[in-house]
């Protein structure tokens, strides 16, 4: 997992629960030792600055062209092809357009129980999914290669495209290991 900023510790525990061990990545050479990468939640403006300081943006994009990446919340924003509110740099690895901080103040932070789409149940198993949203982005556009695994009030909140997964919520903050397992299956 990328460990520059944000809630990467929660991902370590979630990976433990899903049966894998996490490695912290802070430099380009750190990418050489791993099979796949989690981009955690946090603040994308800060993450982009730190990625720039570490000269890590290009190596990350290159890593993503050959290995699986799972982005949660801020991580999903980094993976996208278009970002608004405001527009900012992104890796362009998963064909979605996202708007940052899109749920307004009232819904800044909330927990929902989601009824999974059939595609999620087929891949991960049946049953509702708890989703914790924290200053979440909204996925406004999904490209033709995208499969939507979970929706919240009609908006896609977990999307998959080949080796890439993007969640606008924080599966690492719930006990359910199913979403992390979807990532581990891609390694």
Active site residues: 73, 170, 172
Q: What is the DSSP letter of 171?
A: G
By beta-carbon proximity to ligand GLN, the closer residue of 134 and 157 is 134
**Tokens 């929902």, located at residue:** 112
Nearest Cα to 130, choosing from 109, 113, 110, 108? Answer: 113
Transcribe 44-102 into DSSP letters: HHHHHHHHHHTT-HHHHHHHHTTS-EEEETHHHHHH-SEEESS-------S-EEEETTT
Nearest Cα to 1, choosing from 20, 87, 147? Answer: 20
CB of 29 to ligand GLN, least distance (A): 26
Kindly report the CA angle at 171 between 184 and 144, in degrees rounded to 5? Answer: 70
By beta-carbon proximity to ligand GLN, the closer residue of 80 and 129 is 80
Residues 6+ apart with CB under 8 A from 87: none
CB of 49 to ligand GLN, least distance (A): 12
By beta-carbon proximity to ligand GLN, the closer residue of 167 and 182 is 167
CB of 110 to ligand GLN, least distance (A): 12
CB of 118 to ligand GLN, least distance (A): 28
Q: Which residues bind ligand GLN (CB under 6 A)?
A: 41-44, 73-74, 77, 100-101, 134-135, 137
């Amino acid at each position: 997992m990328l460990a520059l900023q944000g809630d990467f510790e929660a991902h370590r525990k979630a990976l433990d629960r899903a049966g894998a061990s996490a490695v912290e990545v802070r430099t380009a050479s750190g990418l050489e030792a791993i099979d796949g990468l989690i981009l955690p939640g946090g603040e994308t403006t800060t993450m982009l600055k730190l990625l720039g300081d570490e000269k890590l943006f290009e190596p990350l994009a290159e890593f993503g062209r050959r290995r699986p990446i799972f982005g949660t919340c801020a991580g999903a924003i980094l993976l996208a092809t278009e970002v608004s509110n405001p527009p900012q740099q992104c890796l362009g690895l998963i064909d979605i357009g996202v708007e940052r901080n899109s749920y307004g103040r009232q819904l800044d932070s909330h927990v929902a129980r989601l009824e999974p789409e059939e595609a999620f149940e087929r891949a991960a198993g049946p049953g509702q999914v708890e989703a914790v949203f924290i200053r979440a982005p909204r996925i406004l556009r999904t490209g033709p290669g995208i499969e939507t695994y979970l929706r919240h009030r009609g908006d896609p909140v977990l999307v998959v495209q080949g080796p890439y997964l993007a969640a606008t919520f924080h599966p690492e903050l719930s006990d359910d290991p199913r979403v992390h397992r979807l990532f581990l299956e891609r390694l």
